[in-house]
Amino acid sequence: MASKTMQGTNRGGMAGFEILGEWQTATGNVLRLKARRKTGYASIWLDYNGDPIKIGYAAHAGGVVREVRWDPPWNEQTTAWKVQQRNHIAWLIADWHAENIRPVHPAPLPASVIGVFELDGFRFAVEPTTANEHAVLSVVNTENGLTPVADLLHEHGRICGLVTRPGWKGTPEERRRQWRSECEAILTQTAPRGGR
C-alpha cells in the first residue's frame, strides 16, 4: 500500500506526517495510522464525523511494532478488538518500512540463533546465552535484525519461566503460551547437541 505524505494542520500538530493507511473496525469506525520518518512513533486516529481524533499510538523499530497504547476510553476495548487493531497497525508499519528500506540482501541471522518460528505474521528467533539454562526470544525484523522480547529459563529445553522484556509486558497470555510452546520445541531439539 502506498502511503500519502501530508502536511499536518495546527489542529493535529503533525507536520510532515504520512498516512500509512486506514481500515474499518467491525463496528464501522474508520481508523487511520499516521507517522513521520525516523521517529519510531505512529499515531492512531479515529474519523469522527469527518474530524480526526487521536485515540492511541504505536512505538515501532525496524518495521516491527513494539507497543500499542490506547487513550481513554479506547483502552477499555476488549482484548480481541485490540489484537485486531494491532494486526492492522503491524501490517501497515511493516509494509511502510519495507517499501522505503529495501536491502538488496538482508543480513543473515546471527550464528547464535538456534531456531526460528512464525506466529501471527511475525518471525521469532531463539538464541541461547552463555548460561546453559537461559535463552532469549527475539522478534526478527525485515532486515533480520533481532529485538529481544522475552527471557527464557529452561532445563534441558523444558521452559521453567518466560519473562517479557519492557515494551512487551502487555503481551496477551495466549500469545505467551504460544511463544513458550514454540521455544520449548526448539530448545528441546537442540538440547542433546550440547545445550545441556
Q: What are phi and psi of 5, to 5 degrees?
A: -90, 130
Is residue 5's pLDDT more than 60?
A: no
Q: How does pLDDT run across 43-75, given as a tens digit for each residue?
A: 999 988 889 999 999 999 888 999 999 999 999
* Model confidence band, residue 194 (pLDDT cutoffs 50, 70, 90): very low
Please report, in angstroms and rounded to a whole number, the separation of the first and last CA atoms in the chain.
47
Per-residue pLDDT, 196: 39
Q: Work out the number of other CB atoms within 10 angstroms of the CB of residue 71.
A: 14
Per-residue pLDDT, 187: 93
Domains of the chain, by residue range, sit at 4-100, 115-193
Taking residues 111-127, what's their average pLDDT?
90
DSSP H helical ranges for 45-192: 79-100, 173-190
Per-residue pLDDT, 192: 56
Tell me the CA distances in angstroms from 151 to 54, 101, 171, one per residue in order. Answer: 34, 29, 14
CA-nearest of 148, 152, 116, 111 to 131 is 152
Q: How does pLDDT run across 137-185, given as a tens digit for each residue?
A: 999 887 788 999 999 999 988 999 999 998 888 889 999 999 999 999 9
* Model confidence band, residue 4 (pLDDT cutoffs 50, 70, 90): very low
Per-residue pLDDT, 123: 87
Per-residue pLDDT, 170: 86
Is residue 102's pLDDT more than 60?
A: no
Average of per-residue pLDDT values in the chain: 83
Per-residue pLDDT, 103: 45
Q: Identify the residue with better confidence: 122 or 116.
A: 116
Q: Which residues contact 121 (CB under 8 A, 6 or more apart)?
A: 87, 90, 91
Q: What would the DSSP string read from start to end of 27-61?
A: TS-EEEEEE-TTSSEEEEEEEETTEEEEEEEEEEE
Q: In angstroms, rounded to a whole number, what is the distance separating the alpha carbons of residues 96 and 89?
A: 10
Taking residues 28-35, what's their average pLDDT?
90
Taking residues 4-18, what's their average pLDDT?
49
Per-residue pLDDT, 10: 32
What pTM value is reported for the model?
Answer: 0.49
Per-residue pLDDT, 6: 41
For the chain, helix, strand, coil in percent to 5 are 25, 40, 35
Q: Work out the number of other CB atoms within 10 angstroms of the CB of residue 186.
A: 22
